A and B are shown apart, each in its own frame.
Chain A
């Protein structure tokens, strides 16, 4: 069974800092990986989807990378802003599986 881990569980940074969030998974046979943002009391907002054949995806200040062989993905946030404060979740879809396996998330606080 696929297990997804996100470390650290919480992160606090000053505004303007560049930061990296980590996601690791135990089975490298994945179909794709998706990063989400979750604001308190809200649903999940899709940030980036990386197919297994891709190495990275970019959207604005966000860049997600994927290294299947090592079972790792990172989400890079450039020039962080207080509005980036949220919980960031990664989810992995294994090959030949209908399920997305989620990590427990990293709670990010950007201090003005």
Chain B
């Protein structure tokens, strides 16, 4: 079974630029999560989708972050404009349904200079 795929793996941008990350969940998984992991901290949930609907985006900085999951499969997370404090690893995870075991992708390491 293929795991959660993410791209790119690494990205370096200057502050005020925009960036987008892509995630392809495990086939058949209805729930998709985006997390932000700052160095030395545990992951923090940014947004959760159930199929193509948003379940929870209470910790998403909506003035600069946006995410979508068209057709209930792939998802993209965008940051526009980026700030220095957005430097982190962005992790995508999926699960069969809410409250089921989560499976994580390799993450995208973002450096904002």
Chain A interface residues (CB < 8 Å from chain B): 4, 31-32, 34, 36, 41-46, 49, 89, 91, 93, 98-100, 102-105
Instruction: Give, as a whole number of angstroms, the nearest-CB distance from B44 to chain A.
Output: 7
B101 within 8 A of A: yes
Interchain CB contact under 8 A, A4 and B102: no
Residues of chain A within 8 A (CB-CB) of B55 are: 98
Q: List 13 A-B contacts (CB under 8 A).
A: A4-B42, A34-B101, A42-B107, A43-B6, A43-B107, A44-B43, A44-B91, A91-B43, A93-B99, A98-B45, A98-B48, A99-B48, A100-B102
User: How many residues in B have their beta carbons less than 8 Å from beta carbons of A?
Assistant: 24
Chain B interface residues (CB < 8 Å from chain A): 4, 6, 33, 40-45, 48, 55-56, 91, 93, 98-99, 101-107, 109
- Rounded to whole angstroms, the CA-CA distance of A34 and B101 in the bound complex is 8
- Rounded to whole angstroms, the CA-CA distance of A34 and B4 in the bound complex is 18
Given A44-B93, A46-B102, 17 more contacts at CB 8 Å? A4-B42, A32-B99, A44-B104, A46-B103, A49-B101, A89-B42, A89-B43, A91-B42, A91-B102, A98-B45, A98-B48, A99-B56, A100-B45, A102-B43, A103-B42, A104-B40, A105-B42
